[in-house]
């Protein structure tokens, strides 16, 4: 008895087939290797020839539109053209950048990027941390000169908070979590949204194109401690203070010890020194930077519930997961209110 193929929610494309595709569509000569590097929100493949190393990013079907990806490419080329150190997209033989790949679950966009040179961020090196802040400020400043509208979803409170609360609430209800626990998260979200919107304008340079995911894993350093920023998949227009706040929230973000918080604040101060060398932040913006870990926490909790379950299953999404997060939210509420 013949059957129709089952629906696919997230495929993994063949590295060998992608390698052959790249040889046909890009100005590379054999030999070329293409290896599956990492599965995540996007799938990443390591592409190497005798002369260059690149990364192919294959976007998840239905998550990013052709316009979303094309705008990301346009921003990166604009930044690179103005001397900002970012991992630039690689042009195809026809001069374009966007690849449309037909996968079992639907159309998937793909873009090939030059590898960011150098090594991972050395968190103990203040020169690197300061340079990180400086390049972020240059990205913010240069992005304000991008011609036309940046046609991607805004990184506003609806995107950062409301959409993720919509994923958190039914998950907690299905696991029998206390209503008071969910209400605490909602109160923290309400307080963050109110304080951000009351404190900050939605005009440049306070509000504008942001990287959206400024953790230390998205930067590489050359021998002179000069950084190259990459992975602009989360970019969109939002508050620059919240963008900077991702940096504060990314160093062992679940560790609530006073020692770790002191380390985070020291690194942030060094980061802000570099940022301020290019663009100064108002007192209101600096206050929102300190508020951003709560925004980031809600975003990440909802984000993994929406996307990680489709690639890793739900074995980790249990009562322990809820307890782990609630300990953080209770600690935040005790220190900051909400």
User: What CATH number labels 120-336?
Assistant: 3.90.1200.10
Asked if 15-115 and 120-336 have one fold, the answer is no
Asked whether the bond before 231 is cis by omega within 30 degrees of 0, the reply is: no
Along the 338 residues of the chain, how does pLDDT read in single tens digits? 567 788 888 899 999 999 999 999 999 999 999 999 999 899 999 999 999 999 999 999 999 999 999 999 999 999 999 999 999 999 999 999 999 999 999 999 999 999 999 999 999 999 999 999 999 999 999 999 999 999 999 999 999 999 999 999 999 998 888 899 999 999 999 999 999 999 999 999 999 999 999 999 999 999 999 999 999 999 999 999 999 999 999 889 899 999 999 999 999 999 999 999 999 999 999 999 999 999 999 999 999 999 888 888 888 888 999 999 999 999 999 999 75
DSSP structural state of residue 40: S
Q: Are strands 119-120 and 43-48 parallel, antiparallel or unpaired?
A: unpaired
297 neighbors 329 (Cβ within 8 angstroms): yes
Per-residue pLDDT reduced to its tens digit, 151-160: 999 999 999 9
Per-residue pLDDT reduced to its tens digit, 57-77: 999 999 999 999 999 999 999
DSSP structural state of residue 55: E
pLDDT score recorded for residue 5: 80
13 neighbors 105 (Cβ within 8 angstroms): no
Sign of CA dihedral 286, 291, 295, 301: positive
The model carries a pTM of 0.95
Superfamily per CATH, domain 15-115: Phosphorylase Kinase; domain 1 (3.30.200.20)
Instruction: For the chain, give every domain's residue range.
Output: 15-115, 120-336
């Amino acid at each position: 008895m013949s059957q129709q193929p089952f629906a696919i929610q997230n495929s993994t494309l063949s590295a060998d087939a992608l390698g052959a595709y790249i040889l046909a569509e890009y100005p590379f000569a054999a030999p070329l290797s293409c290896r599956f590097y990492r599965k995540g929100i996007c799938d990443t493949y390591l592409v190497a020839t005798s002369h260059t190393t690149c990364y192919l990013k294959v976007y998840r079907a239905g998550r990013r539109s052709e316009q979303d990806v094309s705008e990301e490419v346009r921003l990166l080329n604009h930044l690179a053209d103005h001397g900002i150190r970012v991992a630039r997209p690689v042009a195809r033989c026809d001069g374009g950048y966007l690849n449309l790949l037909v996968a079992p679950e639907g159309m998937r966009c793909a873009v090939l990027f030059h590898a960011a040179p150098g090594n991972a961020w050395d968190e103990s090196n203040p020169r690197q941390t300061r340079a990180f802040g400086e390049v972020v400020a240059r990205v913010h400043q240069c992005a304000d000169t991008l011609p036309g509208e940046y046609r991607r979803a805004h990184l506003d409170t609806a995107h950062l908070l409301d959409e993720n609360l919509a994923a958190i609430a039914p998950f907690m209800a299905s696991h029998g979590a206390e209503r008071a626990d969910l209400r605490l998260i909602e109160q923290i979200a309400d307080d963050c949204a109110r304080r951000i919107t009351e404190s900050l304008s939605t005009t440049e340079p306070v509000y504008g194109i942001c990287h959206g995911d400024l953790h230390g894993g998205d930067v590489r350093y050359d021998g002179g401690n000069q950084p190259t920023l990459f992975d602009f998949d989360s970019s969109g227009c939002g508050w620059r203070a919240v963008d900077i706040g991702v940096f504060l929230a990314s160093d062992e973000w679940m560790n609530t010890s006073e020692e770790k918080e002191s380390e985070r604040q020291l690194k942030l101060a060094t980061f802000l020194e570099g940022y301020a060398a290019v663009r100064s932040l108002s007192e209101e913006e600096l206050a929102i930077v300190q508020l951003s870990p709560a925004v980031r926490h809600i975003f990440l909790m909802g984000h993994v519930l929406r996307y990680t379950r489709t690639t890793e299953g739900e074995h980790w999404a249990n009562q322990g997961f809820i307890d782990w997060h609630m300990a953080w939210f209770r600690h935040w509420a005790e220190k900051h209110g909400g």
